[in-house]
Chain A
């Protein structure tokens, strides 16, 4: 594990235990299958339902103050990873350690890890006023003395760019960007050490996205926060993250310093992903995309999960799953080509 802990970027030397350490995390869904499916299977009329392996043996560590990006296409397990790290979901196996201590799986979750979602609307109670949305947790958990809650909430609103005058309003009375600010203020209210941001800027228009990205970066600086920053947008991840995990069908296929990974990808999937991202400076592109769809995680291809789409696949790739291993200092990849 120690080898993963390259010193965090930005000159933050790391001496203490990583704030977040994830070991061999696996999460299965629907192992039982649907009732009908199980019935048919019991009668021998259908093959037994396969569980979805949403996360498959994921391990990594994040140093205090570091931003770890997580990228990959829809269904690769990013949100599942985020929810487990934030303590909102139990893993099927494996463990999450916080500052060196194992975190008991699942509820009740610690306040030191908070999650921010893509659509803050669905996570904000529509019947509560903004001051209550933000102030409830610090009041209940005695983060500040009861008398001080209103001033504390006003301070958080101000810091996150919401006019404290609007404290009496409900979430639906705000625009998407403002709701995201409310979601951030609410997460910060319990003084977390780690924020899991799951596509937190993905639904926002680019001019609003820039505002929120700036807010995340300022808060990191001011509060020494650590982020697990999940996004399918490689441009945003490159801008905010120090290191990145590239996921495919529940597994980490590559990780390392974000510029290293995006500029000199090792894994063929990372290469394809980076090449497919449209960029402002690429004009009149002749798109030569990788073929094929992302396979169903219910029925992942044998061997390397990427082999049906990989232009470099060999017979070995169809039979044997490559292991994630160190290919350069601070750099891991899972591809047979590295042998």
Chain B
């Protein structure tokens, strides 16, 4: 069976006064049915642009310049905008950090949800309403009938996000892209959302790309991890392999920066410097200016190499694997 999502060599550029700047430079990513793949990286690494490139929601200044994006084997780049719109919501849905990207502030929840449902399904009002109430209950909202009559501003942030998730899942899409949906939420509310999303993926076989900068969240829910740096995936593999024995120096540095992995009060190992902006991208390995393992070879561009089955690393001098 074809994977739900299959991305090869994806490149996306922003048109700027300084010419085309590539925010994505060769993304390869496969997500299978029922799988949760985490796309991790610090701000500006290209996580959101990846999500927008897949769902066809790129801002006007940006365009995909190369590569393939296949959903259930269908080449999304070949689709007309109308065909893409019809796919969105039905086959692929996106959840954003700010639920108000999904919700309309001036419409009641029931109006928004039944519209979203009836856009792709010929349902009567009553039936649509019943389905919407069921969808709210499924994401853990109490008294769904009462909530349906409310406006977004009458709900807490966590509840708004759950409504946005319920809308994204209305048509049981094959693929959901979740772009930092819990970043703005408190941990107890984040826990509720993680529980909901985890359960729905497992029960319905939805493929999920969970975008986050938080490695700890990834550890708890993901099957596989792809680590992004400056528009490239620098390492990917099964969650345990990547977190317990990272091969790329940046992944190692990210894990080491998390305070919880160190005895209290000890100085944290820090990665010097910061991520380059698109105009400052070095030739060759973009991590080189911050990397302690760099050599003359790193002035060239490292390509992804399969270090172990399902384990890809983009580095000329990867760290030794678990076995030494």
Contact = CB atoms under 8 A, between A and B. Distances in A.
B216 interface: yes
B240 A272 contact: no
Interface string A217-253: 1100000000000001011101110000000000000
A205 B219 contact: no
A236 B187 CA distance: 14
A74 interface: yes
A205 B213 contact: yes
Contacts of B157: 74
Contacts of B221: 284-285, 287
Given A278-B216, A290-B191, A205 B260 contact: no
Contacts of A206: 42, 213, 215, 254, 257-258
Given A206-B215, A287-B198, A279 B260 contact: yes
B112 interface: no
B145 interface: no
B195 A287 contact: yes
Contact of B220 (A74, A259, A287): A287
B257 A280 contact: no
A273 interface: yes
A287 B189 CA distance: 11
Contacts of A285: 194, 220-221
Contact of A214 (B158, B189, B268): B268
Interface in B215-252: 215-217, 219-221, 239-240, 243
Contacts of A207: 42, 253-254, 257, 270-271, 274
B18 to A, nearest CB: 17
A213 interface: yes
A92 interface: no
Contacts of A314: none
A299 interface: no
Nearest to B267: A214
A103 B44 CA distance: 44
B254 A287 contact: no
Name the residue in B140, B159, B187 with the highest tally of chain A Cβ atoms < 10 Å from its Cβ: B187
12 contacts: A74-B186, A207-B270, A210-B269, A213-B268, A232-B186, A239-B264, A280-B255, A280-B261, A282-B216, A287-B194, A287-B198, A293-B189
Interface of A: 10, 73-74, 175, 177, 205-211, 213-214, 217-218, 232, 234-236, 238-240, 258-259, 272-273, 275-291, 293-294
